[in-house]
Amino acid sequence: MEFLWDGLREAVELLAGGDAEILRILEVTLEVAVFSTLLALAFGLPAGLALGLGRFHGRGAGFVAVNAGLGLPPVVVGLFVALLLFRGAPLGGLELIYTVEGIVLAQALLSFPIVAAFTATAVQAVPGALFEQARGLGASRAQLWLLALREARVGVLAAAIAALGSALSEVGAVVLVGGNVFGQTQTLASAVLAEVAAGEYGTAIALGIILLGLILVLTALLTLLQQRGRARPGWGAS
């Protein structure tokens, strides 16, 4: 119990003191979370739309693939990405090994199936009659897809929340691809790992508390966005 109190105190001190190291760790954490989520959205939304609404050969296999991707082991993805990015490896020329950009890439691969699978399921639930109507009014395919995203926005934002949460809490891929380099590629989660390895439980708890706070704040913002305009009558209302 003493550890927890000390950790909480240290967390407050680190944040209040504007500690340069903690600011750098926060910066890396946010970069990884935001950019990987945006990348995953950029590719996952179209993929999810295609899987949910499209009619093409291999759609079933694609659906299985993204659903299986929900259980993708980060440490295995990290291993493959790291080996591909090693100097002299096929993608070594990108010079992404042990960089924040490399971590973003690995994390985007992990978040992509989350976005695609959630989006596909969400747009599937949009009533087909709506599309018939829109098509009758002369809507283009792009307009239909936008309509689907709009109608399924609660589910789509759930996808974004899940992707962001996964990026904030990931360590396996972060350490293997980023190297957990002090002051350069450490995220809050991977810094916790390093502090525990060094037996610095107080600092580890402090960093853990800061990470939990960050997840809560970011998730709250997205949830507000998700639940806006949802003032419909619920089950209990008349």
Partner 1 sequence: MGNHRLLLAAALCALALLAILLASDDDGSSAGGSSTLTVQGTTDVRDAGLLEEVILPGFAAAYPQYELKYIAVGTGEAIANAEAGQADALLTHAPTQERAFVEAGYSLEPHGLRVFDSDYVLAGPLDDPAGVLGGAPHDAARAFELIAAAGEAGEANFVSRGDNSGTNTQEKLIWGLTGVELNEDGEPGPAGGGETAEWYRRAGLGQAETVQLAQQCPFPGGGCYEMTDRGTFERLAGDGVVEELKVVSQRNEAGARGGADLLVNRFSAYVVNPAKVPEVNVEGARAFLAFLISPRFQARLTRFPDTESPAFFPVGSGP
Task: Give the interface with partner 1 as residue ranges (CB under 8 A).
Answer: 35, 38-39, 41-42, 45, 86-88, 92, 94-101, 104, 146, 149-150, 153, 156, 179-184, 194, 196-201, 225, 228-229
Nearer to partner 1, 136 or 199 (CB): 199
Distance CA 109, CA 113 (A): 8
Minimum CB distance to partner 1, residue 15 (Å) = 20
Determine how many CB atoms are found less than 10 A away from the CB of residue 211.
21
Distance CA 220, CA 223 (A): 5
Interhelix angle 59-69/100-124, rounded to 10 degrees, is 130
Nearer to partner 1, 5 or 182 (CB): 182
Minimum CB distance to partner 1, residue 179 (Å) = 4
Per the structure block, which two tokens stand in for 167?
């990026």
Nearer to partner 1, 26 or 157 (CB): 157
Nearer to partner 1, 80 or 101 (CB): 101
Minimum CB distance to partner 1, residue 215 (Å) = 19
DSSP 46-110: HHHHHHHH---TTHHHHHHHHHHHTT--HHHHHHHHHHHHSTTSTTGGG--TTSHHHHHHHHHHH
Nearer to partner 1, 64 or 89 (CB): 89
Minimum CB distance to partner 1, residue 2 (Å) = 9
Nearer to partner 1, 135 or 228 (CB): 228
Per the structure block, which two tokens stand in for 102?
């490399």
Residue recorded with tokens 């800061």: 210
Minimum CB distance to partner 1, residue 60 (Å) = 26
Q: List helix spans (H) across the chain.
A: 2-16, 20-53, 59-69, 74-85, 100-124, 128-136, 141-151, 153-169, 172-178, 188-197, 201-227
Nearer to partner 1, 74 or 202 (CB): 202
Minimum CB distance to partner 1, residue 185 (Å) = 8
Q: What's the distance, CA 46 to chain centroid?
A: 17
Minimum CB distance to partner 1, residue 35 (Å) = 6
Cβ atoms of residues 42 and 108 within 8 Å: no
